[in-house]
Structure 1
């Protein structure tokens, strides 16, 4: 029964992740609620989410949403940032970081709710777009390596807000960056024997289905991304409070 719960929640995570990012806020707790030890839960979640994100990335690529000339450079910076973040996580307590997030998350939610937050902005020069996108990829990559939840949502907000990419292109580049960091982390977990392959592969099929449906929905109704992003931010806020209370 507990595995059925995991599969349902992982499907929902894929659906949300394809539209607005932040699927890990749903899928990782699903594994933990199913009684999977934390390191194996994180590792197995990487396997299933990588499978789902692969589907979305392929579909976005075919639909022409991915600016590969920008995305491929961003991947390099994201990998560097993620590696730095992982090393920081090993040496610095996240005590202060979580409390900073309690301040930042409401501000981000206010920005998302602002009527013009995802309106197309004046296009920047190619050089500016690349450098801003790479800077975003690096710093969000640091966050992903250090802490992680909501990475896709933060990438989407920053790429539209700072790099002036339209919503569909920003989401496409977000998927490429997320996919790369997911695979990089997955390799580390596989080498350390933490992945539960049977559970992860079955859950991955549900995640792929969720991502497939979510990417189709996004292509038809991209403006509906706002309420889903707000929901993701609220879940993240609640999760952070619970973690602080539990420490």
Structure 2
């Protein structure tokens, strides 16, 4: 870890990119689509890229979650249930990833992403609704746990766009408006981030002299993005989610074509 260094201009580049990633991630998820390529461009080995990125992402998500909670945009009961499920799902996804090839995973995502984009587009003109005050029935408990396990499994299995898919799930399956769906997604993502971070820390895969300044930048970005999402609601979140899905689809298509 001590042998991995970057130049001052490159560190400044990483700080800027992780800050921008924080803005996107806190509002719509998918910040890793920006930060991960930036770390790789800076020359970090792949495993250190994931570990260092997870450190800065976890720090930023912590502050974003707190911001959404203070803004009244988190259903704490449902969010905690989903967070618990994400721990289980993330572990299962990590084990499943060992058995599936990269090609299979990418093919799965190439099928999933257009469907997710269609869901967002079909809901574009739908009035923003909110089920934040709905009673916590057994059915909703089961839904929250299922979302947590499913999204957590995706996070452990593949990763990019986890927050975006969590927002879609809370909005379409449980009837939350975009603000509260995003807030619940933050709590779920926070759990999966720290679960993964423990593994990276134990393996010594976090480059702290890069991760710490990037984490500070990510925190600032997350606070800015959270503020935008809380004020703008669906008008801000839906377009950003669609952009994230397009970026992810483009990345996967390029990888399938051997261009990335």
Bin the TM-score by the shorter chain.
over 0.9
What TM-score, normalized by structure 2, do the two folds share? 0.90
Q: Secondary structure at the match of 2:49?
A: helix
What does residue range 108-123 of structure 1 map to in structure 2 within 5 Å? 108-114=116-122, 115-116=124-125, 119-120=128-129
Quote the Cα distance in structure 2 between the aligned partners of 1:190 and 1:104.
31
Aligned-pair distance for 1:208?
0.5
CA contact (8 A) 1:129 1:164 kept: no
Aligned to 1:234: 246
Quote the Cα distance in structure 2 between the aligned partners of 1:224 and 1:200.
28
1:87 to 89, 95, 108: 95
Q: CA RMSD in A?
A: 1.6
CA contact (8 A) 1:124 1:163 kept: no
What does residue range 174-189 of structure 1 map to in structure 2 within 5 Å? 174-189=185-200
Quote the Cα distance in structure 1 between the aligned partners of 2:111 and 2:130.
27
CA deviations on 1:81-104 (whole Å, 9 max, x unpaired) are 000000011222131221122122
Aligned to 2:4: none
Quote the Cα distance in structure 2 between the aligned partners of 1:102 and 1:79.
25
Aligned-pair distance for 1:205?
0.6
CA deviations on 1:51-94 (whole Å, 9 max, x unpaired) are 11111011111111111111112111111000000001122213
Quote the Cα distance in structure 1 between the aligned partners of 2:217 and 2:205.
21
Aligned-pair distance for 1:116?
4.2
Aligned-pair distance for 1:48?
0.5
Quote the Cα distance in structure 2 between the aligned partners of 1:84 and 1:202.
32
CA deviations on 1:140-162 (whole Å, 9 max, x unpaired) are 11110011000000000011001
Aligned to 1:126: 136
Quote the Cα distance in structure 1 between the aligned partners of 2:136 and 2:41.
45
Once the two structures are overlaid, the 10-residue window that deviates more, 175-184 or 113-122, is 113-122
Runs of 4+ in 1 over 3 A off after TM superposition: 121-125
Quote the Cα distance in structure 2 between the aligned partners of 1:36 and 1:229.
28
CA contact (8 A) 2:228 2:236 kept: no
Aligned to 2:201: 190
Unaligned runs of 5+ in 2: 1-8
Quote the Cα distance in structure 1 between the aligned partners of 2:71 and 2:52.
29
Quote the Cα distance in structure 1 between the aligned partners of 2:107 and 2:130.
32
2:152 to 141, 158, 163: 141
Distance verdict in 2 for CA 1:29–1:117, change over 3 Å? farther
Aligned to 1:172: 183
1:14 to 19, 22, 39: 22
Quote the Cα distance in structure 2 between the aligned partners of 1:67 and 1:190.
30
Quote the Cα distance in structure 2 between the aligned partners of 1:92 and 1:102.
15
Is residue 212 of structure 2 the alignment partner of residue 221 of structure 1?
Answer: no
Aligned-pair distance for 1:126?
2.2
What TM-score, normalized by structure 1, do the two folds share? 0.95
Quote the Cα distance in structure 2 between the aligned partners of 1:121 and 1:225.
15
